[in-house]
Amino acid sequence: MTSTLLLTDPLFLRHDPGPEHPESPERLTRILKLLEHEPISGTERRAPRPATEEELAAVHTPRLREYLRGLRGRTEVIDPDTLTSPDSYDAAVLAAGASVQAVEEVLAGRARNAFALVRPPGHHAEPDRAMGFCLFNNVAIAAEAARRQGAERVLIFDWDVHHGNGTQAAFWQRRDVLYMSVHQYPYYPDTGASFEVGEGPGAGYTLNCGMPGGGTDADYGAFFQDLFLPVAEAYAPDLVLVSAGFDAHRADPLADMALTERGFAAMSTALKALAESVCGGRLVMMLEGGYALEALSQSVHACVEVMAEDMKDSFPEGVSREAAAALQRSREALEPYWRVLGR
C-alpha cells in the first residue's frame, strides 16, 4: 500500500488566469519544486484521470456544465475574480477527477491517504455558478463519489481562509455529508456565519466558525478541541476530506489571519488522528487557496510530512478573546443538534 498518494499533472500549470492574478501557475510550481528538493519518504506521485460527466453532474447543473464546456479553448472573464485561459476547462475537469481518484484509491485501500495537488481550486463553485477562482467544486464532487462507493457518512473540513460557500450549498439539506469550516468572517464571499447550520434534514450538519482577522495557531487549536473534534468524533465519518487552503497563513496577501506552517501541520495531525480513530485512517486533502508562495509551499510540505511520515505537531496553548467569542457563538448555534456540545 502507498502511504501517501500525491496526484498532480502538468496540465494544472496551463490554467492561467492572467499575469496579475493571485491564483497563478507558480503556486503549484513552487509546491512541486519543494517536494522534489526536499522529498518526503512514503509518498508516491501519480498522474490523475479526468472526471466523468456523471461525476460532474452529481454536483453541478446541466446549465453550468454546458456553459463551462463552451469556454474550452477560450480566454474568458466569468466574473472579476474568475478568468479562464484556453486550457482552463480541461484543467478543471482533471482537478475534479484527481479528487475523485484520490478518494477511490483511499477507499479501496491502495493508499493510506492522499493529497490532490490541483488547480483551479473548487470550494467556491456552487451547483449552478462558477466563482471565486473556482470552476468545478472538487471536494463536493469527491464527496459524492465517496457516497456512491459506499461511504455512508463523509466529513468535509475546510480550513481555507475564505468560507466554502459552494460546498455548503451542495450539502445544505443533507446529513450524509457533514461540512465544517473555519474562516475569516465577515469576509469574501459574505457567507459562513455561525447561525448557518443547514436546514431540513441537514439542520446541524453545517458547522461554521468564522472570526475576525488575526487568528493564531492557538486560536485554531481551541476551535478543534472545543468544537470540531467532539462533533466529528460523534459523527464518526467513513472518510475525512479536507479543503486545504493555505491563505490563513500570516504571510498571505489576501487575508488577515496569523497561522504558521506549524498550525497547518497541527490541523493535519488532528485530522489524521481523527481519521485513524474512526475510519481506518481514510483521509484525503485537496488544494484550495494560498497565495504567498513560500508560505504555501512550506505549509503543504509540512502537511504531507504529517500524512506520510507519522510526524506530529500540536497546537500551542491559549486563545484570544476574539476567537473565544467566535467559538462560543458557534457552539451556541450547534448545541441544539449535538449533545456532545452541551455543558
CA angle 121, 123, 125 (to 5 degrees): 90
- List, in sequence order, every residue forming a beta bridge with 5; answer none if it has no partner: 44, 114
Q: Cell numbers at residue 289, please?
A: 487557496
Query: Nearest 10 degrees: CA dihedral of 181, 224, 143, 63?
Result: 0
The count of domains in the chain is 1
d(CA 300, CA 47): 18
Is 63 exposed, middle or buried, given 0-12, 13-18 or 19+ CB atoms closer than 10 A? exposed
Question: What is the domain extent for residue 151?
Answer: 2-341
The amino acid present at 213, given as its one-letter code, is: G
Edge to edge, the sheet with strand 239-244 lists 43-46, 2-7, 111-116, 283-287, 239-244, 154-158, 177-184, 206-211
d(CA 343, CA 339): 9
- pLDDT (tens, 9 = 90+) of the chain, 343 residues, equals 779 999 999 999 999 999 999 999 999 999 999 999 999 999 999 999 999 999 999 999 999 999 999 999 999 999 999 999 999 999 999 999 999 999 999 999 999 999 999 999 999 999 999 999 999 999 999 999 999 999 999 999 999 999 999 999 999 999 999 999 999 999 999 999 999 999 999 999 999 999 999 999 999 999 999 999 999 999 999 999 999 999 999 999 999 999 999 999 999 999 999 999 999 999 999 999 999 999 999 999 999 999 999 899 999 999 999 999 999 999 999 999 999 998 6
Give the SS3 label for residue 64: helix
CB 43 within 8 A of CB 152: no
pLDDT of residue 2: 78
pTM of the model: 0.98
Residues 6+ apart with CB under 8 A from 238: 146, 150, 151, 152, 153, 154, 279, 282
Sign of the dihedral through C-alpha 32, 243, 288, 160: negative
- Distance linking the first and last C-alpha atoms of the chain: 43
Pairing of strands 239-244, 76-79: unpaired
CA angle 89, 124, 150 (to 5 degrees): 85
Query: Which residue, 228, 323, 265, 284, is CA-closest to 112?
Result: 284
Q: Cell numbers at residue 150, please?
A: 459506499
Diameter of the chain by CA atoms? 56
Instruction: Identify the CATH number of the domain in which residue 137 sits.
Output: 3.40.800.20
pLDDT of residue 343: 64
Alpha-carbon distances of 17 from 13, 69, 74, 137, 319, rounded to whole Å: 11, 17, 11, 17, 38
State the catalytic residues: 124
